[in-house]
Structure 1
Amino acid sequence: MNTTLSLGSLAVSSGILAAGLIFLYGVWLGRRDTGWRAARGVLAAVVLGGVLPFLLIQFAPVLFSSDSRSLTSLLLLTIVNIVGVLVAFLPWLVAGNWLEILRLDGPRT
């Protein structure tokens, strides 16, 4: 199994896009400080999404066993893949939460 960290993946680039968009929305509303906090939160979710699969793989040594056809190995591999896909959407979930916070605060007059 290849565990190379790829910073050019779709999840990372879309997370960086989400951070930039939420920051621009905060600036547009006149809430630059809140937009900057939101962008940092989204970027932290991107980092967590990039690191979490590597942390999970350490707790699943069964995946590296020679008997990869066992039901336990397949179940653990499926769980790791599902968690990886869910974590890929984490930056957009965080951005959506911050979007709601910025929307409720409203524009600064």
Structure 2
Amino acid sequence: MNTILNLGSMAASTGLLAAGLIFAYGVWLGHRDTGWRAAQGVLAAVMLGGVLPFMVIQWFPALLSYDSRNLASLFLTAALNIVGVLVAFLPWLVAVNWLEVLRREDPRT
């Protein structure tokens, strides 16, 4: 399993885009401080997604001895891939949550 922290991945790039967009939306609405907190939350989700492989390897050292002939090992690898895809969407989930918070604070609505 590759455990390199890769901030050039598509998930990290779109997470950084989400952080910038939610901050810009907060500034546009006149809630710069809330927009900044939202961007920090999205960036924290990006960092969690980047650091998660390191934590998984520490918790499950059996992943280092992957055996493709073992059925349990195949299921574990498939589960990790599914969790990886879900974690890739975590920054966007956080951004949408903050979007709702910013929309509720907007006095124009």
Q: TM-score, with normalisation over the residues of structure 2?
A: 0.91
Cα deviation, residue 63, structure 1: 2.6
Count matched residues: 108
Show structure 2 runs of 5+ residues with no match. Answer: none
Instruction: Tell me how far apart the structure 2 counterparts of residues 64 and 52 of structure 1 sit (CA, whole Å).
Output: 15
Relative to the length of structure 1, the TM-score reads: 0.91
Matched residues, percent identical? 73
Give every structure 1 segment of 4 or more consecutive aligned residues whose post-TM-superposition deviation is greater than 3 Å: none
CA spacing shift, 1:66–1:103, aligned 2, 3 Å? closer
Q: Which residue of 2 aligns with 1:100?
A: 100
Moved more, 91-100 or 64-73: 64-73
Question: Quick one: distance in 2 between partners of 1:44 and 1:66?
Answer: 30
Cα distance in 2 between the residues matched to 1:66 and 1:51 = 21
> 1:67 maps to which residue?
67
Please, which moves more after superposition, 40-49 or 67-76?
67-76
Distance of aligned partners of 1:66 and 1:27 in 2 relative to their CA distance in 1, 3 Å threshold: closer
Q: 1:86 is matched by which residue type in structure 2?
A: L
Provide the alpha-carbon RMSD of the alignment: 1.5
